[in-house]
Structure 1
Amino acid sequence: MKIEGAVAVLALITGGLWKENHYLETNKVVYRDSKIPPDFKGYRILQVSDLHSQRFGKRQVNLIKRTKELEPDVIFLTGDMIDRNHTNIERSMDYLEEAVKIAPVICVLGNHEFEAKKGDIFIQEMRRIGIRVLKDEKIYLEKKESRIPVIGIDDPYVLPKCKGEDYDRISSYDFVQRLKKVMKHKEEGFTILLSHRPEFFHIYIRTGMSLIFSGHAHGGQFRIKKDIGLLAPHQGFFPKYVSGIYQEGETSMVVSRGLGNSLFPFRIRNRPELVLVELS
């Protein structure tokens, strides 16, 4: 039996298989921080991550419906909205064209946007419909007389691949240098960082960021327990950062399990999710 077939049988026995997922789980986090401006009390941030051109009903009707129900004030996209192996720009845009009608959409790119052959076209399409794509940039969320800085940094794979070299090592070094440069413009007070990669949490802590939104780990793909995953990109087996909220000192990181899959088409005990963070 092929490995995919064996996993499918195992998942059906355990009741934990999701492929071409239509079931959406929503996880809500109430995030408290004394540095949050009072005007932002109750502000709702919807994180959408790692769609990988997955389908949630015809023309993404299920995903759009759930997004409307959550009534976000802003939507953060944290990368890999398309997939390099089975790129379907139309399927991703079906959702995004409706999302921008619900709330402002702010995006950082993942490795798949840079690896897909049509990645540049997809980025152009996002900008065309009004999505703000942050490439090592800072913008502000505004409410009444207050504002919160949001910094977005490009994925390490923005660096063109260099044949015959240790690409991950080189691109990671470049990523850290770019992050340091962006952080020179960091302001005091509550600041949000959008970055596709959770494995750099130890670096984010040093920057003094308040709250990070990240994805990429796919919830560990196969979850052994609630917060224990088997495998994640760039973290390997039994990854440290798979889902939920992680905190060290005054820095917290929200990691979404995401919506779609990439190389392996199944999830086990790992439903696709939307994350709603309410500031308090």
Structure 2
Amino acid sequence: MQRQESETFMNIPMIIFLFILIAGGLLGLEIYRELHHFRVTHYTIESQKFKGFSRDLNLIFLSDLHNRVYGEKNEPLLQAIRNEKPDLILIGGDMLVGKEDASYDIALDFTSQLPQIAPVLYATGNHEQRMRENPEIYQASYADYRQQLKDRGVLFLENGSCRIEAGTVLLEISGVELPSASYKKLKKLPIRASDIAEYLHKDSVSVTEDSVYRILLAHNPAYMNAYKGWGADLILSGHLHGGVMRLPGIGGVITPQAFLFPKYSGEMTKEGEQTIIVSRGLGTHTINIRLFNQPEVVSICLKRSENKK
């Protein structure tokens, strides 16, 4: 009897080891799956400002491709975007990888095909910004990339705005570019709403105009209070890659600046009349891991408000 109890006790470590081995294998398979398959995430936004629309508007928001390729030359990704029949495609930055030895060909090939689907507005991320601000390292790579996309119809919003009429509603779409230091690890700059206005050169209509719906493309969601204070109706961010892995009820785990559990990491949040959407992105960078955090194309329906009698 004592011998049987001893043998059972000795088997416990083996059972634990097998459990860890199986769990690790399943997690590894899930990581692999998420690194190679994207999803389309749908959000609907309603606003009294949309009562002037003649119909609903569909937007696609893309961020953080980082030269990722899905299928043959990203054709599955392009087809998924076509299937959404967007009226406008908005890019939140980091489509390429800002490394000295990295090519931008994948990002260029993919992005250059988007204007065939819908008009494209491109706000930069820290990778594009890094390449532009350091020509001694990257030479003319970013200038060439940008020019080729402009030649294909892509409009860049580098601290600038574009206004589009939609029925009697004016969509004002702005792309803000923060100082490079705002991306340093374990550091957060004291950026305020007034700074956002300054970066955008005050190139915006009055916040008091009820017929204006302001969309702000702001790559880094760490400065959300400043974006909200500036007066954006809809804020679109990326950069965090969903927090690498996501925990149920908590969200993303870590940011590229090494802050834990960011408030906004990969979801839609309504705060009063303002809407915040942070994309989980399409690729990875440095940490090539995703867990419970599938890459995504964000599809947004701006739903026409019905006039109520």
Q: Where on the TM-score scale, by shorter chain, does this alignment land: which range? A: 0.7 to 0.9
In structure 2, C-alpha distance between the alignment counterparts of 1:41 and 1:200, rounded to whole Å: 33
Q: Are the aligned partners of 1:104 and 1:131 in contact in 2 as well (CA < 8 Å)?
A: yes
The one-character-per-residue Cα deviations of 1:163-199 (angstroms, maximum 9, x if unpaired) are xx99955xx4578654122384333232111111111
Query: Share of identical aligned residues, percent?
Result: 26
SS class of match (1:260): coil
* Counterpart position of 2:196: 179
1:262 and 2:285 matched? yes
| TM, length-normalised to structure 2 | 0.77
Distance, in Å, in 2 between the alignment partners of 1:11 and 1:47 is 33
SS at 2:106's partner residue? helix
Contact 2:61 2:90 in 1 (8 A): yes
Q: 1:124 to 1:175 in 2, by over 3 A?
A: farther
> Would you say how many aligned residue pairs link Structure 1 and Structure 2?
267
Compared with structure 1, are the counterparts of its residues 201 and 29 closer, same or farther at alpha carbon in structure 2 (3 Å cutoff)? same
2:230 is aligned, of 207, 216, 221, to 207
Amino acid of the structure 2 residue aligned with 1:77: I
Task: Say whether the 8 Å CA contact 2:191–2:223 is kept in structure 1.
Answer: no
Alignment of 1:211-250 (within 5 A): 211-225=234-248, 228-234=251-257, 236-250=259-273
Are 1:218 and 1:261, in contact at CA under 8 Å, matched by a contact in 2?
A: yes
Matched, 1:79 2:93: yes
Take 1:198 and 1:266, find their aligned partners in 2: how far apart are those partners? Answer: 20
- Report the RMSD for the aligned CA atoms in angstroms: 2.9
Contact 2:173 2:215 in 1 (8 A): yes
Q: What is the CA distance between 1:109 and its match in structure 2?
A: 0.3
Q: Give the whole-Å Cα distance in 2 for the aligned partners of 1:71 and 1:155.
A: 32
Gaps of 5+ in 1: 1-5
CA contact (8 A) 2:215 2:233 kept: yes
Alignment TM-score, normalising by the size of structure 1: 0.85
| 1:260 partner amino acid | G
Deviation at residue 52 of structure 1 after TM alignment: 0.5
Moved more, 186-195 or 209-218: 186-195
Instruction: Note if contact 2:31-2:290 (Cα within 8 Å) is conserved in structure 1.
Output: yes
Show the counterpart of 2:56: 42
Q: Structure 2: give runs of 5+ residues left out of the alignment.
A: 1-19, 132-137, 304-309
SS class of match (2:73): helix
Amino acid corresponding to residue 112 of structure 1 in structure 2: H
Q: If you compute each CA radius of gyration, which structure gives the higher value, 1 or 2?
A: 2
Say whether residues 1:101 and 2:124 are aligned partners: no
